[in-house]
Each structure stands twice: as C-alpha cells, then as structure tokens.
Structure 1
C-alpha cells in the first residue's frame, strides 16, 4: 500500500475577463479511483488548503456526459485539502499533479511544491502529472540547479488543443515551456497517451488520458512494493 499525494490548484479568477478556472474533475477522480482500486492511499493538497475551486467546465455534460465526476465532486471527497506548506514529503511514495488551467497560475511557481517534488524524487518516489499538471515540473530544478525534466520525454496539453478564448489569458504556453527543456510529444493519433520519461517521471497528455494515467501509476506503485517485499524476503 503506497501513499500518494495529489496536488490541486486552489483556483484562479480573472474578474475582468469573466474567467474562472481551477482543477479538472476527471484528472483528479479517474487517477484516484485507479489508485484506490490497487489499495493505495491518496491525500490531497492545495496552495491554500480547504476546498479548492474546480473548473466548472469539467463538470458539464460536454466533458462529463454520464455525470460520474460531478457526482464524486458533489459527494465532498475533494472538499478538504491541506496546505502545501504543511505537507511532509518524506511520508509519500509518489505525487501526482492534477491538471486544469489553474495549475498554471498557482502551482507552476510554487516553491514549496518544488521542494516536495525534489524530496520525493530524491527519495526514489514517482513524480506524475497529467494535462496541465506538468506546469510546476517545468520550473522545478534539482539540487544541482538543473530542470528535473531536462532531456526527458514528456507530454502535456498541446497548444493546438487550447481553447482560443483562453489562450491570451494563460501565463505561458505549457507545450512551449516543455519543449525548452525536454523532448515533448503529444501523439495526436492516439486516443490516450502517457509517457514514462524515466522510472520516476510519468506524464499524461489530456483529460482523456487520465484513466490510463491513473492505472499506470497505480500498477507501477504496486510493482515497486512487490519488488521491495521480494528483496526483503531474500
């Protein structure tokens, strides 16, 4: 049983442009369901703690046609999060960054989150992010001052999928920033797409890749536990 930290945006609002965003429902709930099915435990953290703002679009029929994620959201299971500053990184075997445009605003440059990512990575844990979730990974540097993603194969939400109405409101292009330090790919012909950049770095392309992303992370953690048990028995 691994312990996993899920990190979400607290939310972002641009009143002048009537723009509200936050974390994307499917990108939290699909991986959490997969992780819990494998017996792993998931804790939630946000910059501000408390109840984070979900991107309202992610709960609409267009993106959640069966209402599955809306029902999970309304159950309140994502209402209580701890502030990132209070997270004890050494207690976690993995961390995954939930997507949604909010991640680009309050997670990308969050220094305490960068520190958590480095500690878990240095301890041999898994760093995972889906859709816009790689935003903070872009700006995370290791103890040698080099990007944690440097030279690795990665994916994330591509430029050509960004809605035209929000492009001018975003602080940066995720794809452009990833390309500066890593080998970016989005496999446009693949319905779902995830990438292992190393044994410790996993990224997923978009909301539709969330379930595959979660299952892959869950299975990887289970394999690690089994391998550790076998080494112990030997």
Structure 2
C-alpha cells in the first residue's frame, strides 16, 4: 500500500494572531488520497493534536471530511518516524508552518531521505517553509536549482499578516536557490520539478492532490 506522511505545524499563535494548520490543505489531499486507497499518516515536530487556524473553517465542515481529520487529532512526532516506511512526504500549510518548519533538524533528516531516494516531496502554500534553512549533508539547500511555488509576497501582503511573519516565503525560497514561480494572486498553480511537487495557495490544494496522486500511481 502507498503510504504518505503529511506534516503539519504545531504553532497555534504568532504574536496576537491565532494560527495553525490551514485545514483544507490537510483534509482535501487526505480525502483524495484515502479514496484512492493510499494510507495517510499525520505527523508534526512535537506530535499530538494539531492546532487549526480559525480562519480556515466555518462551524459547518463539509460532510465529505468526516473521518478524514482523525490523523491530525494525534500526530506522530517526526523524530519517531521511520522514513523507510513512506513513499512520499507532504508539508501542509498555514501560517504556523512559517515558525516551526524552517531550520528543523527533524524535517532536515526526512528531506534528506526523501530526496536521496527520489521519493515524492510535496508542499502547499506556507508548507514550503520546510525547505528554508534545511540543507543536505553537503550543506546545500534541498531546493537549489529547483522550480518551486508557494505563498507569494503579494498574497501575504493581502492577508495583512506580512509584518507579523518571520520572513516572506517567496523571498526566502529564492534566497535558498529555488527558481520561484507564481501564477498570480489566488491562482490555482502547481509546479512539478524532479521529485518536488508544490502548490501556491489554498486554491491549488485540489490540483496538487490530483497531481500527487497521478505521480504515485504511475
């Protein structure tokens, strides 16, 4: 059975702003993949229950999401993950990822395994923050020379949260050596390069789930 490790943030607050996982960026891919017969495991740096950004859902959650949220209720710690067991890794977004994904030894170790073994590495929206500050054994950025997307500077400015962020994701992805691409504000935009599949924003979630599925099924 194809197994996917889905990594979410543990951070629930940045300054006075409540944050966490952007819910659809976990649930929409997880729904697509479990329907395909893939096995999804929720993971985070600290483990446990994942905080959900209150702006990412209403009181009425889609019924199709029933049962799919269970993996984020009690995530496994990344330090306890055996990457050999997984065929792909996927970093979910939400502003919290900007805090605990960069410069993470646990994420760095996993990225090294997935890149060295040419397994799929995916990230959506703020999820590519996982590529910031994390380098391979040769001290080289994992995304040097890789075409990639993620939440754009223009989109971040539009949220009004740019000043609260530790950095702007687009800027840091470029600084890390990536070839950054944006499809425009709120564009459905997915980029595939080598074993990296990245989506720009929440509007890209369904498409990245489809592209990821196609690559894993081929």
Q: With the length of structure 2 as denominator, give the TM-score of the two structures.
A: 0.91
RMSD of aligned Cα (Å): 2.1
Query: Is 186-195 or 151-160 further displaced after alignment?
Result: 186-195
- Displaced runs of 4 or more, over 4 A: 69-77
CA separation in 2, counterparts of 1:33 and 1:152? 28
Whether the 8 Å CA contact 1:29–1:72 is kept in 2: the answer is no
CA 1:75 to 1:100, structure 2 compared with 1: closer, same or farther past 3 Å?
Answer: closer
Whether the 8 Å CA contact 2:43–2:75 is kept in 1: the answer is yes
State the Cα deviation string for residues 142-173 of structure 1 (Å, max 9, x = none).
Answer: 22221111011110000111145321111111
1:119 pairs, out of 93, 113, 121, with 113
**Shift of residue 93 of structure 1?**
0.8
Structure 1 gap ranges (5+): 224-234
Aligned: 1:89 with 2:94: no
Alignment of 1:40-59 (within 5 A): 40-59=38-57
Q: With the length of structure 1 as denominator, give the TM-score of the two structures.
A: 0.85
Q: Which has the larger radius of gyration?
A: 1
**Shift of residue 60 of structure 1?**
3.1
1:179 pairs, out of 159, 169, 174, with 174
Whether the 8 Å CA contact 2:103–2:132 is kept in 1: the answer is no
Aligned to 1:27: 25
State the Cα deviation string for residues 69-120 of structure 1 (Å, max 9, x = none).
Answer: 8964896452010111111111111000000011110112211111011112
Aligned: 1:4 with 2:9: no
Whether the 8 Å CA contact 2:12–2:52 is kept in 1: the answer is no
CA 1:164 to 1:151, structure 2 compared with 1: closer, same or farther past 3 Å?
Answer: same
Whether the 8 Å CA contact 1:29–1:69 is kept in 2: the answer is no
CA separation in 2, counterparts of 1:102 and 1:72? 24
Aligned residues: 216
Aligned to 1:230: none
**Shift of residue 31 of structure 1?**
0.9
Provide the secondary structure at the position in 2 that maps to 1:134.
helix
